[in-house]
Chain A
Amino acid sequence: MSAVALDKPANATLRRWTDFFLLIAGLVVVWYLLHLWAGEVALTSPYETVAKLIDLLGQAWFWPHVGETLLALFYSLLIASIGGLGLGTLLGIHRLSGQVAEPILVALYALPKITLYPLILLIFGLGLSAKVAFGAIHGIIPVTIFALNAVRNIKPVYLKTARVMRLTPLQAMRTVWVPAALPEIVSGQRIGFALTLLGVLLGEMFASQQGLGFLIINAIGLNDVPVIMALALLLALFAVAVSSALLALDRKLHQRS
């Protein structure tokens, strides 16, 4: 009995990874079947997509586009995650502003912000700043909403405890507020990351002559399906890698509470 129980953790990790790869394998099979059904012109096969992607990665002209996208993503993330965190925290602490702002934020979150791209272009012109703006407006709202709720939903009894123990505001911040709110904040950052990336790519598709989004819209214009598929695969791999790391952190923090 105890032997089984003892070696369970190792098995569980192994099994999780096996499950994950089985799932990926299943998706590849579905992809391949779709390819067979839709035909070569419509949907590139998994093998050819990977080959195309490797080919692209070997081209010198390709890397500046990647760098451009990463740079825009970095700036947008900086604005979205830090700005959203600060704004959300303030709104969470100040109850009335939070109540006033929350429905407005939710309404903004629901807006198809892509509609605004002409406006962004008119303000910022083509180039990096338009992309960053586009990424940031996509990401900052969910980060703010999550941070707001994280701070607002800290159980009042925790805060009272901090007061009873006569912690200084800084101590209370460090030992009570942050640990209590952190799990939700990380969830918000996770969603913020995904939407910021989406926003940057959208920005590049419409407001730029550089970056992966630009390559995609170009390929769409030329109806170059292999390139579309290869770039989509690259983006999916990147998104899954970053999200998985954030998700693991998220899980760890939520398990504790």
Chain B
Amino acid sequence: MAASVETMPDAPKTMRDIHAPVHASVAGVTRIFPAVGEQPPVHALGPLDLDLVKGEFFAVVGPSGCGKSTLLEVLAGLSAPTEGSVTFEGQPVSGQVPDGVGVVFQEDASFPWLTVWDNVAFGLRRAGFDASEITRRVDYAVGFMGLADFAQAYPAQLSGGMRQRVCIARTLVLQPRLILLDEPFGALDQQTRLLMGDELLRLWRETGATVLLITHALDEAAMLSDRVGAMSARPGRFIELVETGWPRERDSRIVSEDSFGRLTGHLWSLLREESMKASGHQMGRQK
């Protein structure tokens, strides 16, 4: 699966099938958190539009607090937008998480009272799979995530990164058609991140799922995705949707490509001002 990097120059500029049907979309979405006590209402997101094309890998980058997690929750049906509409596979999303959507949350969401194995099996049991299928999928996922030695351990005995892998496995075994990941590799070291990125790419290719990945690492966004949405400071809006042009067959070795450096550089130039705004810096000095 690594063979593709050498063939890059001949590959078409973009491998994303722009004629594929829209899989999920948000239109005119805003999210305003109501006032609490003395704290005035917070306009966290939008107005914002996004069409996710079936089978694409979409990354979202943006300064801290710009509304990335909020966007994910709205898209997943976990919270209702203040204005605008969300659809998944042609059906409006409201109030409920639609079947076929999987979410990996930013916080640790492993159940402390279940073993790693039972955590991963949780969703499958709810969905009523039969025991042999559950065993097959869970064993595979636990091995795939490098947790085989810890299958019978409790989350408290794992590191933060390992717990996050438990949550990723728990979502992936359900084979969702739309996978929403909120900084899933945040607690991992750079090398493991790259490898996990490769695994995520392989999984994405094999399952044909649509992926939306929120990340704070620009290189990760540039490396993994077909398109990167760069968000403004709060209230978050897309300032640019950047096509990466990578072939579908790709892996972490593209970080040595020239175009990779250009891509990351471009993303940073887009986000630099926004990040400064978000962290309250004065701008203009570099103009």
Contacts and interface: CB of A to CB of B under 8 A. Distances in A.
Nearest to A12: B37
Nearest to B82: A1
A172 B250 CA distance: 53
A163 interface: no
Q: Which bucket holds chain B's interface residue count?
A: under 10
Contacts of B34: 5, 8
Contacts of A8: 34-35
Interface of A: 1-2, 5-6, 8-9
A9 B36 CA distance: 7
Interface in B25-64: 32, 34-35, 37-38, 40-41
A109 B41 CA distance: 45
A6 B32 contact: no
Nearest to B41: A5
Interface of B: 32, 34-35, 37-38, 40-41, 82
B6 to A, nearest CB: 48
Contacts of B82: 1
A6 B38 CA distance: 10
Nearest to A2: B41
A9 B39 CA distance: 10
Given A9-B35, A9-B37, 12 more contacts: A1-B32, A1-B82, A2-B41, A5-B32, A5-B34, A5-B35, A5-B40, A5-B41, A6-B35, A8-B34, A8-B35, A9-B38
Contacts of B37: 9
Contacts of A9: 35, 37-38
A1 B32 CA distance: 9
A159 B37 CA distance: 31
Contacts of A5: 32, 34-35, 40-41
Contacts of A1: 32, 82
A8 B41 CA distance: 11
Contacts of A2: 41
Contacts of B32: 1, 5
Contacts of B41: 2, 5
Contacts of B38: 9
Nearest to B39: A9
